[in-house]
Each structure stands twice: as C-alpha cells, then as structure tokens.
Structure 1
C-alpha cells in the first residue's frame, strides 16, 4: 500500500484518549440525561460552537504562555527518522500498514516536538513507545483483535517469557529498556503506567465492566479510568532521562500535577473537533453525565483544572534550570501537536499554525515510499 504523505502528527501524551472516548458507551444507558437543549444543538452549528469554544482554548494557551510551535532542524528530523526506522526493523513490526504509519508519525512528532534537547536515543524511545501503543490501542482496544494474546501479556512479561507476536514483544523490550534511560525508580513508575494502559484496554472488555451499573455516587470512576488509560506518568517521566536530569528530587513533587495536566488538557483542545464530529464518547461528556452541569460549563471547568495543574508544576519547578526547561519544552511541543494538526480543527478557532514538520514532509514521504516499495 502507499501511505499518504499528509502529516498525522498528534499527541503522544494521549495515545489512550481514544480508549477513554469509548469507555462509557455501553454504560451511559444507566445514567439520567443532563444535556440541555442548548448543548444538544451546539454540534449542529459549528460556527456558533467555535465562537464559544475559541475563547476557552485561547485563554488556556495564553495562561500556559504558549510561545508557538517550535522550530526543527533538518539534522534533528533526519537523525530521529533514521534511528526509529533502525529500531523498527530490529523489532520486525511492519511499518506499511495504515495504523502503523499513523503511529510512527505520531511518535516521531512527539519525540521531536516535546523533547528537542533529549539525545536521539531517548527521543526515539518516546517515539517508538508511542508508535507501538497506538497500534495496540487500535488492534486490541478498537478492533477487538489479539485480545487473548494481550490478556497473557503481563504473565509472560513477569515470567520473562517471549510474547507471541512482534508487536507485544517490542512493547516488552521497551519496558525492559526503561532503566537504560531513566532513574531506576522512575523507570518502575513508567513501567507501571504503561502496564495500566495495557490493562485499561482489557478492562473495557471485561464482563464486570460491561455490566457495571453507573451511578451518580460513582463520580470518581471517570477520573480513575482516565488515570489508568492515559499513560500519564510515563509521559511525565519521559521529560527526565537520567543522564541529563540526575536529580529526581528536582521534579518528583510535580509528577502528580504533570500527570493530571497530561490527562485532561487534551480534552479541552480536542473538544471542538469531537463535538462537530458527533463523538460524545469522551471525558467531558462523562463529566456532564456525572455532574449534571451544562457542557460548556464543564469545558470551562476542565480548562481551569488544566491551567491550575500546569501552574502548580511551574511553581514547583521555578528556578530549577534545565528541569523547568524540559517540562516547558514538553508542554510547548504538546500544545503545538494540537495547534498544527488539521485533525483538531484549531484553524476554525483562529488558533491554527503551520506544522513544524511541513518543510520536511518530502523527506518523510520519501521514507514511507521506500518502506512501501520494499514490502
């Protein structure tokens, strides 16, 4: 197949976001309806919706002091592309499928945009992990395939046994390599975060989950599942490889708020495109269901919570040099992955930017052409 050259850059922070969008599909029948007539009509009037959502998103970017999309060098682009391709060949996980190509681009952009000063090996580690879990989410979480193999992943991993296919084995390899790049205890936290993500896909298919009656008293469950499915701690730890950032005490206190920001800021920036697309299977709609508030009020609340979490991180890291810089670069890259990607429709809100990889798209396209022609 020929992979389109259109950029698929998106948020590696939220590879599990699509899992969460599906989380209460089978369960919402048990909840009383709270959607107001005004909320229900928003998706039918995109211009009106954009006018209401744009100030919320714009304010969040302003409160985060977002400086615009980062600039990339040809050397950085080509170096990471070569490294990730080399490792992908070693893993023997095909690149010539639509979901693999999409995941590879997502991971590639995540490594470059969010971690510009990391060594290429660490950028590649982040990018490769994102590439693999995007595929896992699509195959196990959405297509309902490979479920039996996935159910046995943890047992095989802890027993030191090889996984039954190359995708799962590649995930296991990267989990074992965490200690190569990160402090041992931080690597443990990263591994737990990834294992929780893998489990969240399986929990969604569990009979207990499918038949769980959702009640208003269970209003903590959306956040519980959001935390499980977001790989939030892993993406926080990705900011601090041990060779460059050996002092864990400089950032440890900030990890809970980093994780919270990683979990929910995407929901604000994704809201418009999901609403006009008719996708109500997301965290914001679940908050509406459990709180009884109007949708735009919930959007404002979640935006406020995102900003507050980010400000707490900034306060903790203030004056801590490269530790502060690495987080700020990560946030900048993450915001850029929304403002520059057409799928988020940020141009409709007056917040769109040119993608930093656009000047290099011919090189990326040539790369995928070679991959497809060699298959």
Structure 2
C-alpha cells in the first residue's frame, strides 16, 4: 500500500501565530494610496449612505443601569468604561429599531466580550475551566465570567431556542478561541503549508460572527427562523471580514501581523495587498448573496440595511482607540479612514 508522505522539511518556514510585531510598513503614503480607492469602492458597493444621527437618552440610561447591576467595575476614565461605551454604541447604531431589551442585551454582551478578549491571557487558569463550570451549572470565579455565563443563559429570553443555542455555541467558541490564542503552544506554533484553512477557522471563532448575525433576528420580530437562517453563514462572514478590511490600515501602520489577512495570505502564498483585494471581493459577494435572499422580504431587508449601515458607520466615522478582535471596527480606526468618510461626505 502506498503511504502518503509530506515534504515538511522542504517547506519554507512560515511565521509563528504568536503576536510578534511585523516590520513597519515601508511607506505609509504608498499604503494610503493603495487603500483609499479600495475602501471607497467597498463602501460605495455596499450602497452606504450617510445616516441620521441617533439620540437615544432612554437607551443609554437603561444600558448604564444594567451595567451597574453586573458589578463589573467601569468607572469613567477606565478601560472598562470605554469598552462599555463601545458596546453600547454598537448596539444602538446597528440595531436602531430593535426592542429596547434586545439592544441592551447586545450592548452588554459586546462590552463583556471585549473585556474577556482583553483579559483572557492574564487569567488563563480561571478562563480555561469556564466551559466545564458552565456545563455543570457552577458559579464562575470572576465577576466578568459570571456575567458572561448569565448572558448566555438569558439568550433564550430574546431568541428562539434553536437560535439561542447557536448564539451560545458561538459565544463558547469565542471564549475558547481567546484561551487558545493565549496558550504558549499556540503562540509558538509554526504553521505548515497543509493548514490552509486554519487562519479562517481561528478568525471565525474570535469574530463571534454567528452570534452577531443571529442578534439581527430576535423572536419578537422574527418568530419564524426560516425567513432568515439561510443568510447566517454569509452575514457571519461579512461581519468578520468587513472588520478586517476597515482595520487593515491601522494594523499595517502599527506593524501588526497576527491577524487573519496576514496569516491567510501567508498560507495562500500571496502578497498581503493582493489577498486584501480578494477579501474585499469575497465580502461584497457575501453581502450581495444576502440581498438576493431578502429581495422579497421587506422586514428582513430593512433590519439588514439598518445593521450594515450602522456597522459601516461605526467603521468609517470614528477614530477613538478601541481594543482589537471581535468589536465593530470603528474605534480601532484612525484619521486615515476618517478622512475617507469626509471625502465621501459620510461624516455625521
């Protein structure tokens, strides 16, 4: 019987998956010249238009009340408070016409997810046993993890049981991926040429795309999941990849290469710039497939438009610093992307 062999020793060694700083981009001006038309075209192809400014005093009041109930410290001026504002802004911008309780849930969920992503590497011992304790119904050892467990349990209040199950599964995968990316074995992992799909596997977990896709369709608005479930794979992919597209400039300037675009380009043996073009094409294709599914479904099409509009708004009209990863891209962006919004007349 013939045996399969792999010429591992002949392969060029790929960079490890750990968060090693990349070399600084050789020419920021050239990078801007390359990216500017791509991002303009990407935003235009989405059919993006300048949104109306949202003023939701009741929402913000209720959100901060709910945040206080969690017991998670978030005094003004702290990183946690900034993360809360990010989560709150995401929910109200992307789900502007959703029920208030759903908006608050998504805002708090996003806040806690950001905190988890930022603290996992420092509290591995507590985080690694979250799933075991969650399955056994045991109390979690930290305030953040206990609130995460409660958020997952309360998912059934707002989404159909089968959809809530998917949201919980995506959320558990996210936490596990945060743990994985913090483990020394992962940080020292040197990928082989055979692991072509591994970068997307990791990105799909850290992006929590399935959960955020399902957040679009609470049971109070969509009692029949058959009206939207077909779009979830593409909507999930859209959220992950749109984030990476809009965050590309800042990460390049910062010399960050521990991200999906760099990892996948390396696995594909492609230039990073050319691979970015492929990612933009793939993201737009996913968006257009969703539009086909919702062509004759007015409510679904409207919430999709609201979501995409809010998501991209948060990506091109703000430049406040924010953590990386699963978050909507806005506050990880910079004056460069802000300038594109200004040129297109999209700043509020």
Q: Under a length normalisation based on structure 1, what TM-score does the superposition of the two structures give?
A: 0.80
Q: Equivalents in 2 of 1:49, 1:336: separation in Å?
A: 22
Over 3 Å counting, the alpha-carbon distance change for 1:70 and 1:190 in structure 2 is farther
Show the counterpart of 1:185: 162
Matched, 1:299 2:276: yes
Q: Say which of 159, 180, 190 aligns to 2:136.
A: 159
Q: Say which of 23, 27, 33 aligns to 1:45.
A: 27
Alpha-carbon contact 2:216-2:307 (below 8 Å) kept: yes
**Shift in Å at residue 212 of structure 1?**
3.6
- Of stretches 193-202 and 263-272 in structure 1, the one that deviates more from structure 2 is 263-272
| Deviation digits for residues 130-176 of structure 1 (CA, Å, limit 9, x no counterpart) | 10011111111xxx222111111111111111111211111111101
| Deviation digits for residues 311-368 of structure 1 (CA, Å, limit 9, x no counterpart) | 1111111120111111111111110111111241254574235775xxxxxxxxxxxx
Q: Equivalents in 2 of 1:290, 1:115: separation in Å?
A: 36
| Deviation digits for residues 254-293 of structure 1 (CA, Å, limit 9, x no counterpart) | 1000111111111111111111122222111112211122
Q: Equivalents in 2 of 1:205, 1:47: separation in Å?
A: 34
Show the counterpart of 2:78: 98
Task: Summarize the alignment of residues 1-375 of structure 1 with structure 2, pairs less than 5 Å apart.
Answer: 30-31=13-14, 43-73=25-55, 76=56, 78-96=57-75, 98-140=78-120, 144-206=121-183, 208-342=185-319, 343-345=332-334, 347=336, 350-352=339-341
Q: Equivalents in 1 of 2:68, 2:249: separation in Å?
A: 38
Residue aligned with 1:352, SS:
helix
**Shift in Å at residue 79 of structure 1?**
1.4
**Structure 2 unaligned regions, length at least 5:** 1-11, 17-21, 320-331
Q: Equivalents in 2 of 1:249, 1:294: separation in Å?
A: 40
Q: Equivalents in 1 of 2:144, 2:247: separation in Å?
A: 28
Alpha-carbon contact 1:54-1:350 (below 8 Å) kept: no
How many residues are paired up? 316
Alpha-carbon contact 1:269-1:338 (below 8 Å) kept: yes
Residue aligned with 1:275, SS:
helix
**Shift in Å at residue 205 of structure 1?**
3.3
Q: Equivalents in 1 of 2:180, 2:248: separation in Å?
A: 25
Q: Under a length normalisation based on structure 2, what TM-score does the superposition of the two structures give?
A: 0.86
**Shift in Å at residue 206 of structure 1?**
3.6
**Structure 1 unaligned regions, length at least 5:** 1-28, 34-38, 357-375
